[in-house]
C-alpha cells in the first residue's frame, strides 16, 4: 500500500508570494490533516479535511487555507508569505475515525526569504 505523498519536497519563496502544497493520502483514507513544524513551536495543527469538508481548524491566520478533492487529495495554500512561515509542512492521512491514528508524509520544507 503506497504511503502519503507530498509535493513538492522543497520550496523557496519570497515574502509576499503565495504557495500551494499538495498531499495524496493513503488509498481509502478520507481524512487529511495539515501540520506546521518549526523548531520553536514544534508540531502545530493547521486544519483537517474529511470527505471534502473542513472538520477542524487550528489557530492560524486566514492566510492559511486548504481544500480537499473528491479523491481525498488535499492542497494547502498560504498567501502573502511571511518570514515566519518558513517551516516543515506535514500532511497526515487517516480513516477519520477513532482512535485517529495518523500517517504522515515526508513533508514540504518551505523557506521564505
Partner 1 sequence: TQLLEQSPQFLSIQEGENLTVYCNSSSVFSSLQWYRQEPGEGPVLLVTVVTGGEVKKLKRLTFQFGDARKDSSLHITAAQPGDTGLYLCAAAERAGGTSYGKLTFGQGTILTVHP
Q: Are 16 and 80 in contact (CB under 8 A)?
A: yes
Q: Are 80 and 72 in contact (CB under 8 A)?
A: no
Under the binding rule (CB under 8 A), the answer on residue 24 touching partner 1 is: no
Under the binding rule (CB under 8 A), the answer on residue 101 touching partner 1 is: yes
Candidate residues 16, 100, 111, 113; the one interacting with partner 1 per rule CB under 8 A: 100
Which residue bears the cell 523548531?
39
Q: Are 91 and 46 in contact (CB under 8 A)?
A: no
Under the binding rule (CB under 8 A), the answer on residue 102 touching partner 1 is: yes
Residue ranges that bind partner 1, judged by CB under 8 A: 4, 31, 33, 35, 42-45, 48, 50, 55-56, 58, 90, 92, 96-107, 109
Amino acid at each position: 500500500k503506497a504511503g502519503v505523498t507530498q509535493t513538492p519536497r522543497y520550496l523557496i519563496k519570497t515574502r509576499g508570494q503565495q504557495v500551494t502544497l499538495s498531499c495524496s493520502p493513503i488509498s481509502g483514507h478520507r481524512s487529511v490533516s495539515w501540520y506546521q513544524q518549526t523548531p520553536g513551536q514544534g508540531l502545530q495543527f493547521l486544519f483537517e479535511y474529511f470527505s471534502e469538508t473542513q472538520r477542524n481548524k487550528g489557530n492560524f491566520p486566514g492566510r492559511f487555507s486548504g481544500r480537499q478533492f473528491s479523491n481525498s487529495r488535499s492542497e494547502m495554500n498560504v498567501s502573502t508569505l511571511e518570514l515566519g512561515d518558513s517551516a516543515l509542512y506535514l500532511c497526515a492521512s487517516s480513516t477519520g475515525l477513532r482512535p485517529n491514528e495518523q500517517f504522515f508524509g515526508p513533508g514540504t520544507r518551505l523557506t521564505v526569504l
